[in-house]
Amino acid sequence: MSKPTVLFRTATTALAVGAAARVVGTLSTLAPRRAPAGDIVEVRLDRVRYGSDWLARCAAIQSRGKPVLLTIRLAAEGGAWEGDEEKRLELYREGLGELAAVDVELSSAICRQVAREAARLQKASVISFHDFEKTPPLGELCAMVKEAQAIGSIAKISTMIQRQGDVEALRSLLGRRWEKPLCVIGMGRAWSETRILFARLGSCLAYGYVDKPTAPGQISAAELARRLRRALPG
């Protein structure tokens, strides 16, 4: 049975996400020193000192051939955004006019509004959950995936791994049949190998940093791409 896919659309391309793992290179600056590694470029606007030209600069990155995923992560889920939610919604709406995709937290007040705008514009929305302390029980994770997939294009679950049982819970999550693509990430310096493992097991996105890590155990996008090419030929 074929896997569900979602298109990350730009003015010139449409990248299919879901059939095989795609590498996301995360940027915490709008002036990358080199072309970001990976298939997709994530711009972490919550970490960027941005001005009125932020969208033009994101569009310039996307014009180099890779879809841009706009993320404005809440401080409550590991990000740096502590501002007004109406302002954040405005930024997402601006971004969706030009960029291929957005990532917004399942728990946020603006989640459904962002996802609806993405769907209206035929853009992709990643509906995410992050727990930097633990991995919730499998039943809770499954419920979150179902809710996220009912809202947006891709469900993303990123949790801290404390023990092998957490790895097994995340593996079980990937082993289930879902209606839409699923991204699963295990955090923790001692568990960085799970970023390769989960991509091999079907996680549709694997995140690596371009300029500096944004999560415990994250490896560079260039190294992640090299290792996944070895692990997943073709």
Check if 156 is active-site: yes
Check if 123 is active-site: no
The single residue of 66, 123, 130, 180 carrying the catalytic annotation is 130
- Torsion angle of C-alpha atoms 225, 233, 11, 111, degrees rounded to 10: -60
The DSSP-derived string for the chain is -PPP-EEEE-SS-EEEESSS-EEEEEESSSS-SSPPPSSEEEEEGGGS---TTHHHHHHHHHTTTS-EEEE--BGGGTS-B-S-HHHHHHHHHHHHTTSSEEEEETTSTTHHHHHHHHHHTT-EEEEEEEESS----HHHHHHHHHHHHHHSSEEEEEEE--SHHHHHHHHHHHHS--SS-EEEEEE-GGGTTHHHHHHHHT-SEEEEESSS-SSTT--BHHHHHHHHHHHS--
The single residue of 87, 134, 146, 156 carrying the catalytic annotation is 156
Give the residue numbers annotated as catalytic, written as ranges: 130, 156
